[in-house]
Amino acid sequence: MSESSAPADVRMRGFPSRVDVDEVCRLVRELARPLDSEPVGLGEAAGRVVACEVTAPVPVPGFARSAMDGYAVRGEETFGASDYNPLTFRLMGEAMPGRAFPGVVGDGETVRIMTGAPLPKGADAVVMAEYAREAEGPGGREVAVTEAVPPGRHVGQIGEDIQAGQCLLHAGRILRPQDVGALASVGIATIPVIRRPTVRLVITGDELLPPGSMPTGIHIVDSNSVMLEALVRRDGGIPLGGPIVTDRRATVEAALLDPAGDLVLVSGGSSVGAEDHAPLVVAQHGELLVHGVAMRPSSPAGVGRLGGRLVFLLPGNPVSCLCAYDFFAGPAVRLLGGRTPDWPHRQVRASLARKIASAVGRVDYVRVRLTPAGVEPLAISGASILSSTIRADGFVIVGRDSEGHAPGEEVLVYLYD
């Protein structure tokens, strides 16, 4: 967008209108597309998103194996065996996991076998050790069997676990530890996964001190960077931090035009103050798609594009920053990484202990506690009161067409844990 076609400068004037939250969410879902894929080894694959369907190249198991400790036999030869009529078999040797019996089980013969060992040729069933007794016989070691086992009993057949050609994993699946184990079992060493998005954090404000500092005088400590880093990691991204950016047009412009990162989050400098330069920089050098959203808190939030990358303008007040991230930036990070845009919060339904007041035409993000009496809204509206999110168990979203919720009404609570 050229400078002449840029939106009007709203600094010290206020927003003439605000965009509906649902419209911004739809815009984000349209623009955020999964990144390209990369191969990773199984040791690094857990938690990553599968880029394409994965099929098994071989069956598991690849050989018939014993499911019990006992004796491999020809099943039909055990018919009629009981405690009162034990049947005797000649013991020919043993089969262990990783060490097969080299011969063939013939008529009246058996092989001692352990769980997981390959079933010897000629055998088709396994008698459990509890129903067999070894003893020295006139011709060598013998086994007395007291239970009949039909062919196939206590035998893991080829492909019983996984069939060759079977679809193991679908594209878009977030790999769990057991998924990685299944991949290893079929001999897969690497798997294509969606690249994790790099998310550059641009933290602005002359009043800010770096995290780890002690607040002093008229300065406050930057809390948004560490909060955003944790949120980005939660959503599968890789945060890229940097020094605090001063409230000067030139420094803000230099930070936003830095090409690092698949996505940019700007904290602060997004509202209508005299030093809020980020919206104008985005409008001059790219596209300012949204500036001002019909929600509380986070009304100064914005969305734009610079050099093909999405840029999210997040308010500097911590609760507003958290809210705008959860509504807009978080879904974009997850989508870029191949994940669902849906909120990651656990949800519960519960009745309100006290009313929640709102206004038609905006979305409200209300911090609440879960108490024995029901859902208790915190009597705090300040967007800078980050401690309210510590005291809160979660939040309730009041839709734009609602004036709030009455006591006793059931609401959906998004839990911070």
Give the model's pLDDT for residue 138: 87
Are 42 and 79 found together in one domain? no
Are 144 and 172 found together in one domain? no
Counting the structural domains of the chain, the total is 4
Compute CA distances 254 → 198, 249, 282, whole Å: 19, 9, 11
Are 42 and 190 found together in one domain? yes
**Owning domain of residue 82:** 65-156
Are 188 and 52 found together in one domain? yes
Are 233 and 290 found together in one domain? yes
Going by C-alpha positions, the residue among 311, 75, 60 that lies closest to residue 188 is: 60
**CATH code of 79's domain:** 2.170.190.11
Are 205 and 248 found together in one domain? yes
**CATH code of 362's domain:** 2.40.340.10
Are 190 and 204 found together in one domain? no
Are 174 and 115 found together in one domain? no
Using the 3D structure, point to which of 175, 194, 213 is the last residue of a domain: 194
pLDDT tens for the chain, 417 residues: list them: 333 344 556 544 455 678 999 999 999 999 999 999 999 999 999 999 999 999 999 999 999 999 999 999 999 999 999 999 999 999 999 999 999 999 999 999 999 999 999 999 999 999 999 999 999 988 899 999 999 999 999 999 999 999 999 999 999 999 999 999 999 999 999 999 999 999 999 999 999 999 999 999 999 999 999 999 999 999 999 999 999 999 999 999 999 999 999 999 999 877 666 678 899 999 999 999 999 999 999 899 999 999 889 999 999 888 899 999 999 999 999 999 999 999 999 999 999 999 999 889 999 999 999 999 999 998 665 555 667 778 899 999 999 999 999 999 999 999 998
Using the 3D structure, point to which of 156, 174, 205 is the last residue of a domain: 156
Residue 6 falls within a domain, yes or no? Answer: no
Give the model's pLDDT for residue 104: 97
Cβ-based burial of 304 (10 A; exposed 0-12, middle 13-18, buried ≥19): buried
Are 321 and 208 found together in one domain? yes
Residue 10 falls within a domain, yes or no? Answer: no
Residue 232: Cβ within 10 Å count:
25
Are 135 and 214 found together in one domain? no
**CATH code of 26's domain:** 3.40.980.10
Give the model's pLDDT for residue 390: 81
Residue 8 falls within a domain, yes or no? Answer: no
Using the 3D structure, point to which of 317, 336, 355 is the last residue of a domain: 336
Are 204 and 329 found together in one domain? yes
Q: How far apart are CA 390 and CA 401, in angstroms?
A: 29
Are 50 and 70 found together in one domain? no
Stated pTM of the model = 0.85
